[in-house]
Amino acid sequence: MKPDTLTQRILPVVTILLVIVAVWYVAAVFMNAPFQRDLDRRANIATSKPVDFIERTLSQPKPVLPAPHQVVSNVFENTFLRRVTSNRSLVYHAWVTLSSTVAGFTFGTVLGILIAVGIVHVKALDRSLMPWIIASQTVPILAIAPMVIVVLAAVNITGLIPKALISTYLSFFPVAVGMVKGLRSPELIQLDLMRTYHASAAQTFWKLRVPASIPFLFTSMKVAIAASLVGAIVGEMPTGAVAGIGRKLLDGSYYSQTIDLFAALIAASVLAAALVTIVGLAAKIVDRAMGGRPA
């Protein structure tokens, strides 16, 4: 660790996080205050000390904005204190979402790579398909999610596959675009070199294009896995899936269980951060193995 890592990197981040938590508490007091005053009036609690009032605003069962400690204790309770098979366990719901995310991401990545190889090698595909792939990135494809779920449910396909399908098409586009860029990244001079060796197309592909495309692949995989997770969550939301983080969000919103809602959001964030980190780590390991210059 460099000597200035603490003051240059960790200290600012921690400070900003503390500021956010502080602002959150203040906001929680103010946003929950009107309802608490209402409650107090009904319960005929005479105006008590402000400290007691503040404490009550931070411990409502269904607050407008739950206090950080309420969310943290909810997350802790539902993550570590419940059996993982329980319907209230966050681990259980996260697992459901994770499995369709990973399944969709895997299919999407494989499909994206295959399409990219086709686009790089078949000129007709390049000219006809590539513009559509680029254009489709400007379209809010996620809007199809409810239809995919409902339509597939109508033909008795439910559970993991419809969600994974949404994740597949969300992760497919970034990988295809990134991989096309990567496979085309070798410079002319390197392609000329292969030509002077009279290398076959397959040799040029495996020895030059593929290794050159790896960094691009990982960069787009990071985008793809995040998109995959969003796809799985949104796929769980509109139609009342049985389980999953999206289901938790929907429940929280139906029954105004704000604490549960925030807890589900935290779980989703942790999942996203973990997935992106794993892909990032894989990228680093592969980069190191391929002789990347240490940053």
> Using CA atoms, how far apart are residues 284 and 87, in angstroms rounded to an integer?
37
Give residue for tokens 């994740």: 167
Q: How far is the CB of 82 from other proteins (least distance, A)?
A: 21
Least Cβ distance, residue 180 to other proteins (angstroms):
15
Min dist CB 259 to other proteins, Å, is 11
Q: Which is nearer to other proteins, 85 or 132 (CB)?
A: 132
- Kindly state the tokens that stand for 262: 């925030």
CB-wise, 36 or 258, nearer to other proteins? Answer: 258
Kindly report the number of other CB atoms within 10 A of residue 295's CB atom. Answer: 5
Is residue 256 left, alpha or beta, with left meaning phi > 0 and alpha meaning psi from -120 to 50?
left
Q: Which is nearer to other proteins, 116 or 226 (CB)?
A: 226
Q: Are 167 and 101 in contact (CB under 8 A)?
A: yes
- Measuring CA to CA, how many Å separate 67 from each of 3, 118, 259? 36, 52, 9
Query: Of 45 and 219, which has the nearer Cβ to other proteins?
Result: 219
Q: How far is the CB of 12 from other proteins (least distance, A)?
A: 3
Instruction: Report the residue number, 33 or 45, with the smaller CB distance to other proteins.
Output: 33
Contact 166, 108 (CB under 8 A): no
Specify the residue, 114 or 157, whose C-beta has the smaller distance to other proteins. Answer: 157
Closest distance between other proteins and the C-beta of residue 140, in Å? 4
21 to 3, 56, 69, 97, 267: CA distances (angstroms): 28, 18, 10, 28, 18
Instruction: Work out how close the CB of 147 gets to other proteins at its nearest, in angstroms, rounded to a whole number.
Output: 5
> Which is nearest to 101 in space by CA: 160, 178, 152?
160
